[in-house]
């Protein structure tokens, strides 16, 4: 499991030269984000200055990480790439498929038996292709990456949106779809639009009840869930330096909640302390030699307005603890205002559950500060009014806090310790009574609080706050309790005021673990067999998609004209479908079932033009495919926004959809369509959307001349015999047209032509 010091030293060896060259080309001092971007160009040495928010650039990430729900399809695709091993260090983490119910041991053994074939598959593929495998129970992907692999100035991608957590150790870590991960694992470059930059200057110092979590809760309140889109958030200032490395991780983690590409901090003493505590003295030694390149040029932080596209300033000394929610992480309420806000909005003030942990907040510091509140309650004879649960981020954290008595402190309040896994954070929580869908409130220290996310109950009002605030609120049992000003009654009826939390940034006796749960890959995996049962309903080996036949697509049928918002959740729903993420045929039964049909305003009810009957979208697509009839999908604006899951592109490809024609695309989904060998097209004239009719037959007129920058002409033959020819724009470059011709990007990689 050891980090790869040779790889890190290699990155640092050329960093100065690359960054100096970039500074010369850009012609001004550089931010940290720019230094990391320019030192990770696929072309290695910078040859031009890029325009933020405009230029698409190929990068060479240092690492890849995948979690069990997304790794299945990523690795099934990688198996087709024809490579002997992964080209960059890669790890797989089993954390999403473990449900929290009664407690760690029972829950883990149940998950192991329920998902054994998935875990066995991930383990054997990892073993074969040189991938580090973290077994179920080892912990959550982002906590393990921070403990073992993240390093200042590095760049990594991960098939999970909270990959950004590694920014706490000064990395640029970015969440991507599995197809992107396959490219990098196969030794190809990875394309990203050169991001814009948002600077956050932190002055003052955290004190009292305020924690790093409150910084990002405040930033989310300011920027909203869309405010960081297409941007890297770079934190700096004395306030940043005064915070722990894991606190920085919490802030970067929730950068995903403002839509940011990623977030990061400059290399400082807190990172040195964390690297030393996690046994990575070699990384400190190597990083210290290039320390000037692991933070922005001094001139940037002296006059930040000049260098960032947007600047936010927060004084930590004045920052109040925040409680964000319900239903969205950007609805911020300072603790002093919660009483009136809760009353004004009718939020249930009685708290049923307090949950601490997840990848966002399960550091030693988090746990020890929350435990200091519990300790006080126990000492004063205060009985907790809400139930309490913890899901530690890793076995190393769990083992260490058990050794140091922190778990037993929590247990004095009847706390349930769940498996080191995502659990309630991803809806993997079998909460008793949730099926009654009663209106209720829970508080947690996770990152997301969308409707149904924790327990499937749409009426659960989930609020996000720091672990110490979760502890205080759960003990009080009230959402409108303000520990800074209010007292609690103990079991003797006496008034007691809680002191502010105290904790240790790092364990004074060091971290410890008996079995971290890591499986190193075979030195030579060529003889390792990967077994996928043909009768499995959860895993299915992929067959390559057919290459283009070189002819115009003709006599295609309209599968659906989607109306309004059509996100990746509408195209490939999550929730109960999570279990089919490794089985393309089965998961294709959720294709577009959430999309609204423009002709009847209903979901999952479209006309089968072969029979005239209305049926579910996947059923109609399968009928067309069986009859050898190609189909196309038409959509509205920002089609495919949301998650980066490539299932949303693979499913239509698998079910015979040849083209998706929309008013505009979310960029990652457009790329995913291209990668799977499909046509992702936009109306040259948006009003043409209205010309498409339910019974249309579609003919491409000049696909044989498919070329960069040249719109395609498509004929829509209506039921009455009349026709409309419309122009469709596209953004395919030469290389991407080759993906289309080959049937998919993966087919090209497999043929050794990518």
Residues noted as catalytic: 95-96, 160, 448, 643, 645
Of 422 and 556, nearer to ligand SF4 (C-beta) is 422
Establish if 159 lies at the interface with ligand SF4 (CB under 6 A): no
3-state DSSP call for residue 735? Answer: helix
Report how far residue 434's alpha carbon sits from residue 432's, in angstroms, rounded to the nearest whole number.
Answer: 6
Residues 429-468 that bind ligand SF4 (CB under 6 A): 446-447
CA angle 145, 146, 149 (to 5 degrees): 55
Report how far residue 533's alpha carbon sits from residue 602's, in angstroms, rounded to the nearest whole number.
Answer: 37
Establish if 107 lies at the interface with ligand SF4 (CB under 6 A): no
Give the one residue of 233, 359, 367, 649 binding ligand SF4; rule: CB under 6 A: 359
Establish if 118 lies at the interface with ligand SF4 (CB under 6 A): no
Of 69 and 584, nearer to ligand SF4 (C-beta) is 69
Of 95 and 268, nearer to ligand SF4 (C-beta) is 95
Q: Of 164, 298, 167, give the one whose Cα is nearest residue 237.
A: 298
Contact present, 219 and 200 (Cβ < 8 Å): yes
In the numeric block, the tokens 């977030």 are attached to 263
Establish if 426 lies at the interface with ligand SF4 (CB under 6 A): yes
Of 162 and 645, nearer to ligand SF4 (C-beta) is 162
Report how far residue 586's alpha carbon sits from residue 500's, in angstroms, rounded to the nearest whole number.
Answer: 52
Contact present, 267 and 152 (Cβ < 8 Å): yes
Contact present, 103 and 398 (Cβ < 8 Å): no
Report how far residue 557's alpha carbon sits from residue 658's, in angstroms, rounded to the nearest whole number.
Answer: 10
Q: In the bound complex, what is the minimum distance in angstroms from residue 355's beta carbon to ligand SF4?
A: 11
3-state DSSP call for residue 362? Answer: coil
Establish if 406 lies at the interface with ligand SF4 (CB under 6 A): no
Q: In the bound complex, what is the minimum distance in angstroms from residue 299's beta carbon to ligand SF4?
A: 36
Give the one residue of 8, 81, 284, 422 binding ligand SF4; rule: CB under 6 A: 422
Q: Of 410, 411, 412, 472, give the one whose Cα is nearest residue 443.
A: 472
Select the span of 50-58, 134-142, 303-311, 368-376 touching ligand SF4 (CB under 6 A): 134-142
Give the one residue of 68, 160, 352, 646 binding ligand SF4; rule: CB under 6 A: 160
Establish if 338 lies at the interface with ligand SF4 (CB under 6 A): no
Phi, psi of 106 (to 5 degrees): -65, -40
Contact present, 169 and 249 (Cβ < 8 Å): yes
Establish if 470 lies at the interface with ligand SF4 (CB under 6 A): no
Give the one residue of 179, 425, 442, 464 binding ligand SF4; rule: CB under 6 A: 425
Q: In the bound complex, what is the minimum distance in angstroms from residue 513's beta carbon to ligand SF4?
A: 19
DSSP notation for 607-655: E-TTTS-EE-HHHHHHHHHHTT--EEEEE-TTBT-S---THHHHHHHHT
Q: In the bound complex, what is the minimum distance in angstroms from residue 68's beta carbon to ligand SF4?
A: 10
DSSP notation for 445-486: SSS---TTTTTS-TTEEEEE--HHHHHHHHHHTBTT--TTT-
Q: In the bound complex, what is the minimum distance in angstroms from residue 140's beta carbon to ligand SF4?
A: 5
Establish if 141 lies at the interface with ligand SF4 (CB under 6 A): yes
Q: In the bound complex, what is the minimum distance in angstroms from residue 4's beta carbon to ligand SF4?
A: 23
Contact present, 39 and 271 (Cβ < 8 Å): no
Q: In the bound complex, what is the minimum distance in angstroms from residue 160's beta carbon to ligand SF4?
A: 5
Select the span of 136-144, 296-304, 585-593, 638-646 touching ligand SF4 (CB under 6 A): 136-144
Q: In the bound complex, what is the minimum distance in angstroms from residue 626's beta carbon to ligand SF4?
A: 37
Q: In the bound complex, what is the minimum distance in angstroms from residue 661's beta carbon to ligand SF4?
A: 33
Establish if 140 lies at the interface with ligand SF4 (CB under 6 A): yes
Residue 216 burial by Cβ neighbours in a 10 Å radius (0-12, 13-18, 19+): buried
Of 295 and 362, nearer to ligand SF4 (C-beta) is 362
Establish if 162 lies at the interface with ligand SF4 (CB under 6 A): yes
Contact present, 392 and 401 (Cβ < 8 Å): yes
Select the span of 140-148, 172-180, 556-564, 599-607 touching ligand SF4 (CB under 6 A): 140-148
Establish if 596 lies at the interface with ligand SF4 (CB under 6 A): no
Select the span of 227-235, 421-429, 708-716, 721-729 touching ligand SF4 (CB under 6 A): 421-429
Establish if 148 lies at the interface with ligand SF4 (CB under 6 A): no
Beta strands in 188-340 (DSSP E): 190-193, 196-203, 231-236, 262-265, 310-315, 322-324, 332-334
Select the span of 130-138, 341-349, 420-428, 677-685 touching ligand SF4 (CB under 6 A): 420-428
Record the tokens describing residue 740, joined without a space.
Answer: 């289309």
Number of residues that bind ligand SF4 (CB under 6 A): 13
Report how far residue 360's alpha carbon sits from residue 211's, in angstroms, rounded to the nearest whole number.
Answer: 13
In the numeric block, the tokens 């936010």 are attached to 312
Establish if 358 lies at the interface with ligand SF4 (CB under 6 A): yes
Binding region for ligand SF4 (CB under 6 A): 95, 140-142, 160, 162, 358-359, 422, 425-426, 446-447
């Amino acid at each position: 499991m050891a980090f790869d010091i040779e790889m890190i030293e290699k990155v640092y060896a050329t960093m100065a030269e690359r960054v100096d060259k970039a500074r010369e080309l850009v012609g001004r001092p550089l931010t940290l984000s720019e230094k990391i971007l320019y030192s990770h160009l696929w072309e290695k040495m910078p040859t031009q200055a890029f325009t933020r928010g405009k230029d698409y650039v190929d990068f060479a990430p240092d690492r890849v990480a995948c979690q069990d729900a997304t790794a299945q399809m990523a690795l099934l695709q990688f198996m087709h790439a024809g490579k002997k091993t992964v080209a960059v260090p890669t790890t797989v983490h089993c954390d999403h498929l473990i449900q929290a119910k009664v407690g760690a041991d029972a829950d883990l053994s149940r998950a192991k038996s329920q998902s054994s074939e998935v875990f066995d598959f991930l383990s054997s593929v990892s073993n074969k292709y040189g991938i580090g495998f973290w077994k179920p129970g080892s912990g959550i992907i982002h906590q393990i990456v921070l403990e073992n692999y993240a390093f200042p100035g590095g760049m990594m991608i991960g098939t999970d949106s909270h990959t950004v957590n590694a920014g706490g150790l000064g990395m640029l870590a970015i969440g991507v779809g599995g197809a992107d991960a396959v490219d990098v694992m196969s030794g190809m470059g990875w394309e990203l639009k050169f991001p814009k930059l948002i600077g956050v200057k932190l002055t003052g110092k955290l004190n009292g009840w305020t924690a790093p979590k409150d910084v990002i809760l405040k930033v989310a309140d300011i920027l909203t869930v869309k405010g960081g889109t297409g941007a890297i958030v770079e934190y700096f200032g004395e306030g940043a330096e005064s915070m722990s490395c894991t606190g920085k991780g919490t802030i970067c983690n929730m950068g995903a909640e403002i839509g940011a590409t990623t977030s990061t901090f400059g290399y400082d003493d807190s990172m040195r302390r964390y690297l030393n505590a996690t046994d990575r003295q070699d990384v400190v030694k190597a990083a210290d030699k290039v320390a000037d390149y692991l933070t922005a040029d001094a001139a940037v932080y002296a006059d930040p307005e000049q260098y960032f596209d947007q600047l936010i300033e927060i004084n930590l000394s004045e920052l109040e603890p925040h409680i964000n929610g319900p239903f969205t992480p950007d609805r911020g309420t300072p603790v002093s205002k919660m009483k009136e806000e809760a009353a004004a909005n009718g939020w249930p003030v009685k708290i049923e559950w307090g949950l601490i942990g997840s990848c966002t907040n399960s550091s030693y510091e988090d746990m020890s500060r929350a435990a200091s509140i519990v300790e006080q309650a126990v000492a004063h004879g205060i009985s907790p009014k809400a139930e309490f649960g913890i899901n530690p981020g890793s076995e190393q954290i769990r083992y260490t806090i058990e050794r140091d008595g922190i778990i037993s402190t929590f247990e004095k309040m009847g706390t349930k310790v769940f498996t080191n896994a995502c659990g309630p954070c991803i809806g993997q929580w079998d909460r008793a009574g949730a099926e009654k869908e009663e209106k209720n409130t829970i508080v947690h220290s996770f990152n997301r609080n969308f409707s149904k996310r924790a327990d499937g109950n749409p009426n659960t009002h989930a609020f996000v706050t720091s672990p110490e605030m979760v502890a205080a609120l759960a003990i009080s049992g009230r959402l409108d309790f303000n520990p800074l000003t209010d007292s609690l009654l103990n079991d003797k009826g006496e008034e007691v005021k809680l002191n502010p939390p105290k904790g240790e940034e790092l364990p004074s006796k060091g971290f410890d673990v008996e079995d971290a749960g890591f499986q190193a890959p075979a030195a030579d995996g060529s003889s390792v067999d990967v077994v996928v049962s043909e009768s499995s309903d959860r895993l299915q080996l992929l067959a390559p998609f057919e290459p283009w036949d070189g002819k115009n697509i003709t006599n295609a049928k309209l599968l659906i004209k989607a109306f309004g918002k059509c996100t990746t959740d509408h195209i490939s729903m999550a929730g109960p479908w999570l279990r089919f993420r490794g089985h393309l045929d089965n998961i294709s039964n959720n294709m577009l079932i959430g999309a609204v049909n423009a002709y009847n305003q209903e979901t999952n009810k479209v006309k089968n033009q072969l029979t005239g009957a209305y049926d579910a979208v996947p059923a109609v697509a399968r009928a067309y495919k069986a009859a050898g009839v190609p189909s196309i999908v038409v959509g509205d604006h920002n089609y495919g926004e949301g998650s980066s899951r490539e299932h949303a592109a693979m499913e239509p490809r698998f079910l015979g959809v040849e083209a998706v024609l929309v008013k505009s695309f979310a960029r990652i989904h457009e790329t995913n369509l291209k990668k799977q060998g499909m046509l992702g097209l936009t109306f040259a004239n948006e009003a043409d959307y209205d010309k498409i009719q339910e019974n249309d037959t579609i003919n491409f007129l000049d696909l044989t001349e498919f070329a960069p920058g040249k719109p395609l002409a498509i004929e829509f033959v209506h039921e009455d015999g009349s026709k409309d020819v419309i122009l469709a724009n596209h953004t395919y470059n030469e290389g991407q047209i080759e993906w289309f011709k080959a049937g998919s990007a993966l087919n090209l990689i497999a043929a050794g032509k990518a």
